[in-house]
Structure 1
Amino acid sequence: MTTIDVTQLHHDSHTRSVVVKTIHDACQKRGFFQVKNHGVSKKVTENALGSLSKFFDLPMDQKTIFLSNDVKKPVRLETFRVDNASRVSRELIKLYAYPIEDWIGSWPHNPTDFTENLGKYAIEVRRLSLEIMGAIMESLGLPPTYLRSSLEKGMHMIVGNKYPQSSPSSNILGLASHTDHTIITILLESISGLEIMDSNDNNAWKSVPATGGTLKVLIGNHLEVLSNGLYKSVFHRVTSNPQMSRVSLGSCLSFPMAEMVEPAMELVDKEHPKRYRASSLEEYIKFLSSKADKSYIESLKI
């Protein structure tokens, strides 16, 4: 697994170019990497996971106000069950997080430290996301500031998940195989459970350990489109743990809701024709509501 020391992006030009090349290789070959020395403090990450865990542990009658199947809602709680049985396989809460002052007032206020701790994490991880995107753009041979203004005005969503402890004999997935419709997703997790599909090894599933102090960076569908397929969005899933429950926070960075994303013209030529049609996050949300069988990224391919 590739680990990027974010502080090295601020060293001399040679060091930065080496790190950018490493990011290029990781994005092209694996679709993900992890970062360390990223500037999001241990206190901020621990407090965010702690408040999220306390929220999920509340009795359901204290959370029902947020329950919804409407994928357009800016604050939405959803529960998933095993084969429609009584046992919950996953709880999810999605929170719009930018501009944070527009949304944080509608976030849960129980536990009382939820908005403070999740808000601090959202601000810090968004800053990190923009920094990482500068390096990713550079790794594509584009300026580090390429589409920066769009990213700065873009959607930022925080997605919290709780995967209850599973029975030792269970082989039920906590979250089925999928790609994220983001530019990138940055993942914070309490314990291991993430698995990545390795296209270099006959699409075998590989466990990705949760390493203390690191954050995972996953390539999303819109970066696949923007790169004209040079970088592939990574298929991933989550396995449940028989020893304890798992809590995770996904930070999803996207372009503005209605902005159309298409392959960068600098990456399109006779040898590399345009491979994806333009699409927006708004279109993706409509696609989700349609319950189509085909994956969204497949529907974008020309």
Structure 2
Amino acid sequence: MNSLVPVLHPSQVTTIDVTQLHHDSHTRSVVVKTIHDACQKMGIFQVKNHGVSKEVTENALGSLSKFFDLPMDQKTIFLSDDVNKPVRFGTFPIDNLDRVSREFIKIYAYPIDDWIGSWPHNPMDFRENLGKYAIEVRRLSLEIMEAIVESLGLPPTNLRSSLEKGMHMIVGNKYPQCSPSSNILGLASHTDHTIITILLESMSGLEIMDSNDNNAWKSVPATGSTLKVLIGNRLEVLGNGLYKSVFHRVTSNAQMSRVSIGSCLSFPMEEMVEPAMELVDEEHPKRYRASSLEEYIKFLSSKADESYIESLKI
């Protein structure tokens, strides 16, 4: 499958130097405009000089890999179909085959002191290394989300309190080695119900749907120490459709397994989110109804066929 999918050149994916958000007001405004264009055009960008050290990212991926390498009976302690569980392990089997296309573990990560005690303690460095990464990526996410809010033309301090108190869930994934010619996806196409998702990956595998090219699938290469930022449904609602959540999927690799960490960031669980009033007028009527993350989780439990973002459209 990968061989049939065009690979985006690194220059086609906007790269933001996070340190420039702290320069003079002119430099910041240029960066914010670049973020606006990237969110509107592709729904994804990547960040460099983000302050999350190579040691922290490598240790987080390493501990996660060691967790997935544990015997299955040590991982299924956390096995659950309950989407409300703050720590949840699961697998996606391949039909008629004694293999899986993905293993995952989802862990609540904020406030970290409330949840870290319930995280896996095997491997022994799991809590320490994933905890350090969670703290660092959350700090980064608040910087990025504040710039994104500003890029929508909203006051940069708008929603700061909600963002600071917001939901943070870490999703660790392992995609076992599998030939792309088998046409088996590691993760089917979807959008994230987040404000943003920050992605750390051990190797390439992410593909996005490019709405600027007849909805063609494009492979997004992993590049150096950058982290990818994916626009989610909550931001699409807040922006009244100005930014679109990005459809994405994951393909398997024929040579080795792939490990990734998605940091899913949103508003507090019970907080209702709707289009910002500054972005609604006669020419741009309200396009989405208000909803909460709590409502979304109930929707997931209902196993409805319709996508949640579609259910919100007016």
TM-score by structure 1 length? 0.99
Task: Give the share of equivalent positions with the same residue, in percent.
Answer: 90
Preserved CA contact (<8 Å) 2:201 2:258: yes
Deviation (angstroms), 1:45? 0.2
Deviation (angstroms), 1:84? 5.0
Q: Please state whether the residue corresponding to 1:84 is helix, strand or coil.
A: coil
Partners of 2:158 and 2:134 lie apart in 1 by 23
Unaligned runs of 5+ in 2: 1-12
Partners of 2:298 and 2:215 lie apart in 1 by 29
Unaligned runs of 5+ in 1: none
The structure-2 alpha-carbon separation of the partners of 1:275 and 1:168, relative to structure 1 and needing over 3 Å to count, comes to closer
Deviation (angstroms), 1:61? 1.0
Deviation (angstroms), 1:167? 2.9
Residue in 2 that maps onto 1:62: 74
Residue in 2 that maps onto 1:111: 123
Partners of 2:36 and 2:76 lie apart in 1 by 44
Partners of 1:57 and 1:230 lie apart in 2 by 42
Partners of 1:48 and 1:10 lie apart in 2 by 27
Partners of 1:45 and 1:209 lie apart in 2 by 17
Deviation (angstroms), 1:27? 0.2
The structure-2 alpha-carbon separation of the partners of 1:168 and 1:180, relative to structure 1 and needing over 3 Å to count, comes to closer
Partners of 1:169 and 1:239 lie apart in 2 by 10
CA deviation string 1:66-118 (max 9, x = no partner): 01111100000001111153111100100000000000000000000000000
Residue in 1 that maps onto 2:297: 285
Partners of 2:206 and 2:180 lie apart in 1 by 18
Q: What's the C-alpha RMSD, in Å, of the aligned pairs?
A: 0.7
Q: Please state whether the residue corresponding to 1:72 is helix, strand or coil.
A: coil
Q: Please state whether the residue corresponding to 1:95 is helix, strand or coil.
A: strand
Preserved CA contact (<8 Å) 2:180 2:251: no
CA deviation string 1:235-283 (max 9, x = no partner): 0000000010000000011111111000000110111100000011011
Q: Please state whether the residue corresponding to 1:186 is helix, strand or coil.
A: strand
Deviation (angstroms), 1:168? 5.5
Deviation (angstroms), 1:64? 1.5
Deviation (angstroms), 1:169? 3.2
Preserved CA contact (<8 Å) 2:207 2:218: yes
Residue in 2 that maps onto 1:172: 184
The structure-2 alpha-carbon separation of the partners of 1:227 and 1:84, relative to structure 1 and needing over 3 Å to count, comes to farther
CA deviation string 1:115-153 (max 9, x = no partner): 000000000000000000110011011111111101111
The structure-2 alpha-carbon separation of the partners of 1:84 and 1:147, relative to structure 1 and needing over 3 Å to count, comes to farther
Q: Please state whether the residue corresponding to 2:212 is helix, strand or coil.
A: coil
- Structure 1 moving runs of 4+ over 6 Å: none
Residue in 1 that maps onto 2:208: 196
Q: Please state whether the residue corresponding to 2:194 is helix, strand or coil.
A: coil
CA deviation string 1:213-235 (max 9, x = no partner): 00000000000000000000000
Moved more, 2-11 or 160-169: 160-169
Partners of 1:66 and 1:259 lie apart in 2 by 28
Q: Please state whether the residue corresponding to 2:149 is helix, strand or coil.
A: helix
TM-score by structure 2 length? 0.95
Whether 1:216 and 2:228 are equivalent positions in the alignment is: yes
The structure-2 alpha-carbon separation of the partners of 1:168 and 1:22, relative to structure 1 and needing over 3 Å to count, comes to closer
Moved more, 242-251 or 288-297: 288-297
Residue in 1 that maps onto 2:50: 38
Q: Please state whether the residue corresponding to 1:91 is helix, strand or coil.
A: strand
Partners of 1:272 and 1:69 lie apart in 2 by 40
Q: Please state whether the residue corresponding to 1:217 is helix, strand or coil.
A: strand
Partners of 1:280 and 1:270 lie apart in 2 by 25
Q: Aligned ranges for residues 144-293 of structure 1 at < 5 Å?
A: 144-167=156-179, 169-293=181-305
Q: Please state whether the residue corresponding to 2:171 is helix, strand or coil.
A: strand
Partners of 2:235 and 2:74 lie apart in 1 by 38
The structure-2 alpha-carbon separation of the partners of 1:84 and 1:261, relative to structure 1 and needing over 3 Å to count, comes to farther
Partners of 1:84 and 1:224 lie apart in 2 by 38
Partners of 1:250 and 1:62 lie apart in 2 by 22
Moved more, 219-228 or 164-173: 164-173
Partners of 1:21 and 1:168 lie apart in 2 by 37
The structure-2 alpha-carbon separation of the partners of 1:19 and 1:168, relative to structure 1 and needing over 3 Å to count, comes to closer
Alignment size in residue pairs: 302
Partners of 1:26 and 1:105 lie apart in 2 by 38
CA deviation string 1:43-70 (max 9, x = no partner): 0000000000000000011111101111
Preserved CA contact (<8 Å) 2:90 2:104: yes
